[in-house]
Amino acid sequence: MHPFRALLITALCCSPLLAADDEAVAALEGGTPLPAGEHHFTFPSIAKQSISFISEADERIAGVVAFSGEAALGHATFDVNGGSGSASLSLAVADMRTGDATRDEHMWSSGWLDAENHPTITFSDVSLRQRSPTVWEVTGTWTIKGVSREKTSLANIRFIPTFPRFGENIVRVRTSFDIPIKEFGITNAAVGTPAVAEVWQIEVTLLGKLGAKEE
C-alpha cells in the first residue's frame, strides 16, 4: 500500500469527528430493536406524545406541544432488513404552548411564527438510515414560517410489544436537536437578547401504532 494512502486511512479511522459520531450512536443505544421486515407506524395526536422546545437565554422559556387528538401527527415506514425508511411529521403552530397566554399570543404572531399565514410546521422528505440495532439517522426538511432547511439528527428507535393504555406492537422514537430560529425567518429584534435565544433546543419522543401503509 502506498504510504500516503495508508496515512489517509489511518487519519480517517482515527478522526475525532468520526469518533464523536460513533460515541453519539453508542450513547443512544438501548431497548429492543424493531423486528425484521417492513413496518408502517402512525403517530396519533394524543397526550402520550412529547415534543418540547427550550429557549435557553438569560430568561429560560420552556414550551410544549399540546396535542389536539384531531389528526395523526405523522407516519413512518421502516425496512429493517434494508436498514432504511421514510417518515413525515406535521405540527400546528397554535398547539405550541409556553405556560403564559400572553407570550403564546406573541409567539403565534406575525413577528414570530406567524400562525395565521403559516399554521403548520412540517418535517418532510424524511429518510431513515439504521446506524445500530436501535439507533437510526434521521434526515429531512423542516419547514417553519415558510422557510425550509434540511436537518439531520440521530434517534433511538425501539420496539415495545405492549404499551399500557396505548396498544400493542409500538415503536418509540426519541431524538433531540437544535433549531437556529433566525435561519427560518424568525428575526424579531428580541432574538439574541437576554430574553430569547437564537438557537432553540428541541426534544421529541413519539409513540407509533403499527398499521397499514397509506397509499
pLDDT of the residue at 68? 80
Domain that holds residue 142: 31-210
The predicted-structure confidence for 21-45, as pLDDT tens digits, reads as follows 899 999 999 999 999 999 999 999 9
In a domain, residue 101? The reply is: yes
195: left (phi over 0), alpha (psi -120 to 50) or beta: alpha
Who contacts 186 (Cβ-Cβ below 8 Å, separation ≥6)? 112, 113, 144, 145
pLDDT of the residue at 214? 57
**What is the CATH classification number for the domain harbouring 72?**
2.40.128.110
Residue owning grid cell 438557537 = 199
In a domain, residue 148? The reply is: yes
In a domain, residue 55? The reply is: yes
Contact (CB, 8 A) for 39 and 80: yes
For 161-176, give the secondary structure using H, E and C: EEECCCEEEEEEEEEE
Residue-wise pLDDT tens for the chain (215 aa)? Answer: 544 444 333 333 444 445 678 999 999 999 999 999 999 999 999 999 999 999 999 999 999 999 988 789 999 999 999 999 999 999 999 999 999 999 999 999 999 999 999 999 999 999 999 999 999 999 999 999 999 999 999 999 999 999 999 999 999 999 999 999 999 999 999 999 999 999 999 999 999 999 866 55
Domain count for the chain, please give it.
1
In a domain, residue 106? The reply is: yes
pLDDT of the residue at 1? 52
